[in-house]
């Protein structure tokens, strides 16, 4: 039988197969990138808000604590967004004529809450709680970045599953003393930036954070080093840490944090 195709078409067929393959791969990569892109995750975006509220001004400028406005962050899954009343504590007296604050005054006068657009918003099928993270030594800045330097709020991290798991598989690299949770400028310990910790009475029933006392200045004899300490610890019981690795593993132990295997199991976040 006569040959229908000549040799060159054979090569052509092979080439188009390779090409199709390449296109499929490229498409896959693009979709994957898209799924992870800030456009989908909204990472880094500053949504329109009723009032251009500046964390930089209110936190760094005025020195307000996070808990002043996010009152439930330590004791509930939800950190909380402050009611208009909180703003009026000051803005009934300060900047009373500013155009920017008109929506706040209207809200106060009418009793209608301001509607802030959520910057961080996990899907409903994911369980998250601030309470446990904050009480086990994870700082606001670890997840939210330098909020004190943000004129307008944006999401520093993707909040995607991979991001959560990256920490759940190795929490030690992010743990800090619970007393430093609100410290926006916290940096991991180093040779020239040591941390000293002592462990109090662990039998007292309080399981974790409260029994560990950490300070960032060398504890001196006879000085009550931290008001949080249940009993002033003897100097000899302080251990010095000069690396995140040592401190992280020490805290992992004393804050009684579950194993990476437990923490990465599906039921933790999908209940």
Residue 134 contacts ligand HEC per CB under 6 A: yes
Binding mask 238-267 toward ligand HEC (x if CB under 6 A, else -) reads -------------------xx----xx-x-
Residue 225 contacts ligand HEC per CB under 6 A: no
Return the residue of 42, 43, 69, 176 that touches ligand HEC, per CB under 6 A. Answer: 69
Return the residue of 23, 24, 34, 132 that touches ligand HEC, per CB under 6 A. Answer: 132
Write the CA distances from 69 to 102, 136, 225, integer angstroms: 20, 21, 28
Give me the least distance between CB of 229 and ligand HEC, in Å please: 21
Return the residue of 42, 43, 79, 209 that touches ligand HEC, per CB under 6 A. Answer: 79
Positions in 153-192 near ligand HEC (CB under 6 A):
153, 159-161, 164-165, 167-168, 171, 174, 181-182, 184
Cβ distance to ligand HEC smaller for residue 39 or 231: 39
- Interatomic CA distance for residues 54 and 239, integer angstroms: 40
Cβ distance to ligand HEC smaller for residue 95 or 201: 95
**Side-chain-side CA neighbours of residue 143 (13 Å):** 23
Measured in degrees and rounded to the nearest 5, phi and psi for residue 252 equal: -50, -45
Choices 5-13, 14-22, 73-81, 185-193; region in contact with ligand HEC by CB under 6 A: 73-81
Return the residue of 118, 169, 193, 217 that touches ligand HEC, per CB under 6 A. Answer: 118
Give me the least distance between CB of 230 and ligand HEC, in Å please: 20
Residue 78 contacts ligand HEC per CB under 6 A: yes
Give me the least distance between CB of 231 and ligand HEC, in Å please: 25
219 CB contacts (<8 Å, ≥6 apart)? 196, 198, 225, 235, 238
Number of residues interacting with ligand HEC: please give it, by CB under 6 A: 75
Torsion sign (Cα): 156, 160, 162, 167: positive
Return the residue of 43, 59, 178, 254 that touches ligand HEC, per CB under 6 A. Answer: 59
Chain centroid to CA 30: how far? 28
Give me the least distance between CB of 211 and ligand HEC, in Å please: 15
Positions in 192-211 near ligand HEC (CB under 6 A):
none
Q: Which two tokens stand for residue 10?
A: 């054979």
Q: Count of CB atoms within 10 A of residue 255's CB? A: 19
The answer to whether 42 touches 36, Cβ cutoff 8 Å, is: no
**Residue 110, Cβ density class (10 Å: 0-12 exposed, 13-18 middle, ≥19 buried):** exposed
Measured in degrees and rounded to the nearest 5, phi and psi for residue 83 equal: -75, 165
- Interatomic CA distance for residues 111 and 91, integer angstroms: 16
């Amino acid at each position: 039988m006569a040959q229908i195709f000549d040799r060159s078409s054979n090569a052509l067929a092979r080439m188009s197969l390779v090409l199709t393959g390449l296109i499929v791969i490229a498409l896959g990569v693009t979709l994957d990138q898209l799924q992870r892109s800030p456009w989908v995750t909204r990472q880094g975006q500053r949504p329109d808000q009723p009032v251009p509220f500046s964390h930089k001004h209110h936190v760094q400028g005025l020195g307000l604590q996070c808990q002043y406005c996010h009152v439930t962050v330590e004791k509930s899954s939800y950190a909380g967004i402050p009611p208009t009343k909180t703003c009026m504590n000051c803005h009934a007296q300060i900047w009373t004529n500013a155009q920017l604050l008109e929506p706040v005054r209207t809200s106060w006068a009418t009793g209608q809450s301001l509607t802030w657009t959520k910057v961080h918003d996990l899907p409903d099928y994911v369980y998250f709680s601030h309470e446990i993270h904050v009480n086990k030594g994870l700082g606001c800045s670890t997840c939210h970045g330098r909020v004190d330097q943000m004129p307008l709020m944006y999401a520093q991290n993707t909040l995607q599953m991979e991001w959560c798991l990256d920490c759940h598989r190795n929490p030690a690299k992010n743990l800090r003393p619970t007393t430093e949770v609100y410290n926006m400028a916290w940096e991991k310990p180093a040779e020239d930036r040591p941390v000293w910790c002592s462990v109090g009475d662990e039998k007292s029933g309080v399981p974790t954070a409260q029994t560990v006392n950490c300070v960032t200045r060398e504890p001196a004899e006879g000085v009550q080093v931290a008001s949080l300490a249940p009993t002033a610890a003897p100097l000899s019981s302080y251990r010095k840490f000069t690396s995140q690795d040592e401190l992280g593993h020490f805290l992992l132990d004393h804050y009684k944090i579950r194993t990476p295997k437990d923490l990465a199991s599906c039921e933790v976040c999908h209940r």
